A = this chain, B = another copy of it.
Amino acid sequence: MSVNSFGRLLRLTTWGESHGPAIGAVVDGCPPGLALSAADIQPFLDARRPGADPLASPRKEPDRVRILSGVFEGRTTGTPISLMIDNVDARPADYPADAPPRAGHADAAYDVKYGVRDPRGGGRASARETAARVAAGAIARLVIPGVTIAARVIEIGGESDEARWTAMIEAAREAGESLGGVIEGVATGVPAGWGAPIYAKLDAELAAALMSINAVKGVEIGAGFAAARAKGSDNADPAMTGGVTGGIATGDPIVVRAAFKPPSSVPALGVTGRHDPCVVVRAVPIVEAMLALVLADHRLLHRAQCG
């Protein structure tokens, strides 16, 4: 029920605001005996860091993860794994408490829902929460050995030619603008039979997982919206289904895509503060993390019912 939790059996709960003392995650339900240390998690966080992308926001937090529980002598114990990342670069003074909601942000939505809001850098609505997802996703990968998850940007600003992206992003920055894009994630090695029918369909849960990422406005599996223009006989091509039929994995690669809108914190809309002209590249590890979390959860769910 918790709105800050994700998953049934491998269950992630995240907490923390952008400019509070720290953010964190609790991963419950992890099988015992898995080799795990902070070194298994850190590379994924490093890939997500703004600093990893020379064109992105100048925030330079190191995002150093600590494991506070659930691991003993390098092995998971089956108890909750608490992960914490200090907000060492928090600059609350940059964000006065009486700052008005920023256009296109969730600020106003939080105001009307809760009547109160941590205004510092987006607070809980900040993309910073996704660091906790990425950390948890690294654990989820350990739960699904044999499954390979890889995501990549396939389109920025409507352009699929990778060679043009750097110039486009630089132009957007200079224009006080920003760009969106599309990420494709592929999971190979998922055994046929994982997944579930009806409301826990593997594709339905992947859709929720991706749509829960800030800025995502569309989600596809397999042929996606192109399927709406296909003919019935095109179903003979496994690419149509994207590796899932009836909510259950077929054993083929699972292929999903997520469409990211451009950030709304742009000078063109009068927004001051940090300006990321394109966040799509940084979202790649987040997409991978969400895929890993869904698949790990379904591995456990399948094992529970079907042995």
| Interface of chain A residues 39 through 89 with chain B (CB within 8 A) | 66, 68-70, 72-73, 75-82
Q: Is A93 an interface residue (CB 8 A)?
A: no
| C-alpha gap A209/B207 in the complex (Å) | 9
Interface residues of A in 254-307 (CB under 8 A from B): 259-266, 268-269, 277, 300-307
Residue A38 at the chain B interface, CB threshold 8 Å: no
How many copies make up the complex?
4
| A150 contacts partner chain B, Cβ-Cβ < 8 Å | no
Interface residues on chain A, number (Cβ under 8 Å)? 139
A114, B180: Cα distance in complex, Å: 41
Expressed in whole angstroms, the minimum distance between the Cβ of A199 and any Cβ of chain B is 4
Query: Is A134 part of the contact surface with B, judged by Cβ < 8 Å?
Result: no
- A204 an interface residue at 8 Å Cβ cutoff? yes
Interface flag for A157 (CB, 8 Å): yes
Tell me the A residues contacting B by CB distance below 8 Å.
1-6, 8-9, 11, 13-17, 20-24, 26, 28-33, 66, 68-70, 72-73, 75-82, 97, 103-106, 108-110, 112-119, 123-125, 129, 155, 157-158, 172, 177-182, 192-201, 203-212, 214, 217-225, 227-236, 240-242, 245-251, 259-266, 268-269, 277, 300-307
Contact A236/B199 with A24-B68, A303-B307 known, Cβ cut-off 8 Å = no
Most buried by B among A6, A14, A68: A68
CB contacts (< 8 Å) of A305 on chain B: these are 9, 29-32, 78, 300
Task: Report 22 cross-chain contacts, Cβ distance below 8 Å, ordered by A residue.
Answer: A13-B28, A16-B68, A20-B69, A32-B306, A72-B116, A73-B97, A78-B113, A78-B305, A109-B250, A113-B302, A129-B198, A177-B233, A180-B228, A199-B212, A217-B222, A217-B224, A218-B224, A218-B227, A219-B219, A227-B262, A230-B261, A235-B269
A114 to B225, CA, bound (A): 30
- CB–CB A232/B266 < 8 A: yes
Contacts of A201 in B (CB 8 A): 211-212
A1 with B21, Cβ < 8 A, contacts A78-B306, A172-B232, A233-B266 known: no
Chain B hits for A249, CB < 8 A: 109
5 new A-B contacts, CB < 8 A, other than A72-B119, A235-B261, are: A1-B29, A5-B199, A77-B110, A109-B245, A235-B262
